[in-house]
Amino acid sequence: MPWQDIWIVLQQEFSDLSEIGDITRVTVRLLVATALGGILGYEREAVGASAGLRTHMMVSLGAALFVLVPLQTGMPVADVSRVIQGLAAGIGFLGAGAIMKRWEASEIHGLTTAAGIWLTAAVGCAAGLGHEATAVLSTALALIIFSLLRFTKK
């Protein structure tokens, strides 16, 4: 197979990012989602939470990808809401894995981590949908909640 044929096949396979505007848009959205997830994950890791930097980055990036790809394929925005519903429910199961109850002390641990993972998915969705400013604002509010309100325990 000559190189020209290989090049044509590669162009067809990667046609979803054929124009510089598409490449830039997708790259920015995914990088913003990853960076914001990283910020939240770094804060959680710094306090010793069970889900840290990598988990939050992957959750945010995955959520962004789950909403970005349907939009790229031409799915109507109204139908993307079903994707978001499934994502929110699925992330709930991931967060549930972080929650532990200690029977002897009647304590529950991991609720904030679970909520943080759920919020991180929402931040990723916002970035993936192109609402980067909303994602940044939500991340800032989450950092305020995680950091400042930590001292109001019990």
CB 95 within 8 A of CB 115: yes
> In total, how many domains does the chain have?
1
Q: pLDDT tens string for the chain (154 positions)?
A: 677 777 777 777 777 777 888 889 999 999 999 999 999 999 999 988 888 899 999 999 999 999 999 999 999 988 999 999 999 999 988 877 777 666 666 677 778 888 999 999 999 999 999 999 999 999 999 999 988 877 665 5
The parent domain of residue 60 ranges over 26-152
63 domain-assigned: yes
Q: Which two tokens stand for residue 141?
A: 């509010």
72 domain-assigned: yes
Task: Return the sign of the alpha-carbon dihedral for residues 93, 38, 14, 134.
Answer: positive
124 CB-near residues (< 8 Å, 6+ apart)? 33, 36, 37, 59, 60, 61, 62, 63, 64, 135
Q: Which two tokens stand for residue 147?
A: 């950091």
130 domain-assigned: yes
pTM of the model: 0.84
The backbone torsions φ and ψ at residue 102, rounded to the nearest 5 degrees and listed phi first, read: -100, 110
